[in-house]
Amino acid sequence: MMAGGVADASDGSRAERFKALALPHLDDVYTLARYLLRSASDADDAVQECYLRAFRHFDSFRGGPIKPWLMAILRNVAHATSGANVRLVFTADTGEPQGGAQILPLWREDGDTPEQAMLRRHDSETMRALIAQLPAEFREVIVLREINDLSYRDIATVIEAPIGTVMSRLARARGMLREAWIAAEGRGQS
């Protein structure tokens, strides 16, 4: 892929190969970081650290899908981050939009009427907030499965646990989310 005659082309072409493989998953990795760390600026830092770390260890990447590999690194970075900054772990996010603008939806749905769009936005915001309140080990499996769309096998790789654990944790996570959702719906109607 590289033009000849360039000094240190091997290092540069390695970087290009890495970029071509890893950067398409930036939004996915960033999404996971947002849910794990619950802060835009911490997510930003963690994703940057994740990519640099991934590049340093690119030689140890053994092929196959790169997304789970990146997410496993992100998860380790996020754990280190929240370890260093205990506030992040124990601050209960109440689902109240902090700073308003930050939580504004970044998507546009085509073909929705304004009412539908508003309902959908409401649902998604509620759901984001409810997921953010789940304990970390349940939050991560829900996000990896429902939002990052990973298979059980890939989730098992990311969280370094057997598939059976993935399955039972996901079952519990959905149970907790369902109860929280019903409670939130009730508040919404009353």
Partner 1 sequence: MNCDEAKVLMHALIDGELDAGHAREVEAHIMGCADCAARLREFQELRKAMTPAAMRYTAPAGLRERIEGKLPALPATGASRRAVIKGFAGGAALSAIAASGVLVMVMRGDDQRRVLGEVVSAHLRSLQAQQAHLIDVQSSDQHTVKPWFNGRLDVAPPVVELTAQGFTLLGGRLDYVDAKPVAAIVYRRRVHIINLFCAPAPGSGNSGATMESLHGYNVRRWSENGLNLWAVSDINAEELAEFGEKFEAALKQ
| Interface positions with partner 1 (CB under 8 A) | 1-2, 6-9, 11-21, 23-24, 26-31, 34, 40, 43-44, 47-48, 51-52, 55, 63-64, 105-107, 109, 120-121, 123-124, 127-128, 131, 145-147, 149, 151-153, 167-168, 170-171, 174, 177-178, 181
Contact indicator for 151, 141 with CB cutoff of 8 Å: no
DSSP 130-163: HHHHS-HHHHHHHIIIIIS---HHHHHHHHTS-H
Nearest distance in Å: CB 90, partner 1: 23
Nearest distance in Å: CB 105, partner 1: 6
Contact indicator for 125, 154 with CB cutoff of 8 Å: no
Phi, psi (deg, nearest 5) at residue 38: 55, 35
The first and second tokens of residue 96, run together, are 């109240």
Question: Which lies closer to partner 1 via its Cβ, residue 12 or residue 86?
Answer: 12
Nearest distance in Å: CB 190, partner 1: 19
Question: Which lies closer to partner 1 via its Cβ, residue 7 or residue 92?
Answer: 7
Question: Which lies closer to partner 1 via its Cβ, residue 70 or residue 82?
Answer: 70
Q: How many CB atoms lie within 10 A of CB 107?
A: 8
The first and second tokens of residue 185, run together, are 């719906």
